[in-house]
Amino acid sequence: MPKPTVVLVAIGSNIEPDDNVPAAIRAIDRHSGLELIGISHVYESPAVGHPDQPHFHNAAVKINTLLEPAAVRQALRGIEGNLGRVRTSDKYASRQIDLDIAFFGDQSFELAGNQIPDPDVAIEMYLAAPLADVDPHRIEPTTGLSLADLKEKMMREGTAEVTPVTSNIRRLDTDGRYATDIDGAREETYAPKYEELVSEMLHQLGEDPKREGLVKTPLRVAKAMDFLTSGYSTSLEEVVNDAIFEEDYDEMVIVKDIEFYSLCEHHMLPFFGTAAVGYIPNGRIIGVSKIARIVDLFARRLQVQERLANQVADGLMDVLQPHGVAVVLEASHFCMMMRGVQKQGSSMVSSAMRGTFTDNARTRSEFLELLAH
């Protein structure tokens, strides 16, 4: 199995940085191809190039990834776009967020006109300071100094003004353990805007969000919802990850009793059950665990069961081009069990058939008979 590469990403913002820096880190954390393993302190520094602009907040993250550099850059540009960043020819323009690869393992190369490692790390304290937080022993090749020594040297020489600031981000020590943010005095914060909405919802319900049992509920809800809706932050291609194999096999393949959990889009209440997925190969097969991961990909979104069955079937048709795909889901819905008619013993069965499973009644019957065993 390939070994992941350690990547350091520099982060900057001078448009609503208290919201945009945490939002960017949260988006990186949610990306299926980027494993977040370290988060720096946040530093404030004067804007470069346009001194009349608002000051910047700068941070850095350390990630593990199996992605190639171009794919990491694409993922970061996607996060920038989702936060409203529009890149212009003015490299010093104000921006909602800036996400740049500073180091990519021990490699040295040019990517889309930018040199990696970033040579500006050697001369810009707003880059060196947060990067030293997440990977202090990494060597900056221009100076030959570790990032920690480079940061200390710049501080002694007064290279540039940077000031640690209190920020609404959770911080990971470089060994991966969770910690509070900069001064350790404030409670951990994960997604400030989301947590504020949860607090307001608790208030509307007549609760006191500040009472002991609810103080961390907005944080917990934000983390839980990120996990339960993580299907929005990944793609079919990332889930499959080249686990397609050429194989001269044309008999039916079935994976059944795949547990899944989803959220009904009408009430945002859970529904859960099992999936059975079958396909008839057309010269290609897929790693068996990837079928379960495809089910999870689409289940971890706001859903209706009928659409979920269709999306799983269409996803397999897209990546495999098989003779046919069959999907059967059976699930219990809390929106029916906890409210409305309140029928706790009820369940719903839905199916989606593609290719030969639609065209050939005998093939479809064989699939359904095999599910009964």
Nearest to 7 by CA among 79, 58, 68, 56: 68
Distance CA 160, CA 144 (A): 20
Query: What is the longest distance spanned by two Cα atoms in the chain?
Result: 80
Q: Which of 16, 267, 330, 366 is the catalytic position?
A: 267
Whether 110 and 119 have beta carbons less than 8 Å apart is answered as: no
Would you give the DSSP letter of residue 55?
A: P
Q: Which of 55, 57, 323, 333 is the catalytic position?
A: 333
266 is catalytic: yes
Distance CA 131, CA 117 (A): 12
CB atoms within 10 A of CB 304: 15
31 is catalytic: no
* Token pair recorded at residue 138: 């990494």
Q: Which of 115, 137, 266, 321 is the catalytic position?
A: 266
Q: Which of 264, 303, 311, 323 is the catalytic position?
A: 264
Whether 194 and 214 have beta carbons less than 8 Å apart is answered as: no
Nearest to 31 by CA among 101, 97, 81, 79: 79
Distance of CA 108 to the CA centre of its chain: 26
267 is catalytic: yes
Distance CA 293, CA 272 (A): 15
Identity at 192, one-letter amino acid code:
P
Q: Which of 96, 303, 305, 311 is the catalytic position?
A: 305
Whether 61 and 9 have beta carbons less than 8 Å apart is answered as: yes
Q: Which of 16, 35, 335, 366 is the catalytic position?
A: 335
335 is catalytic: yes
> What are 63's strand-pairing partners?
7, 36
Q: Which of 247, 259, 265, 306 is the catalytic position?
A: 265
> Rg (Cα) of the chain, in Å, rounded?
25
Q: Kindly give, in sequence order, each residue whose CB lies less than 8 Å from that of residue 3, ignoring residues fewer than 6 positions away.
A: none
* Token pair recorded at residue 301: 């979104």
List, by residue number, the catalytic residues: 264-267, 305, 333, 335
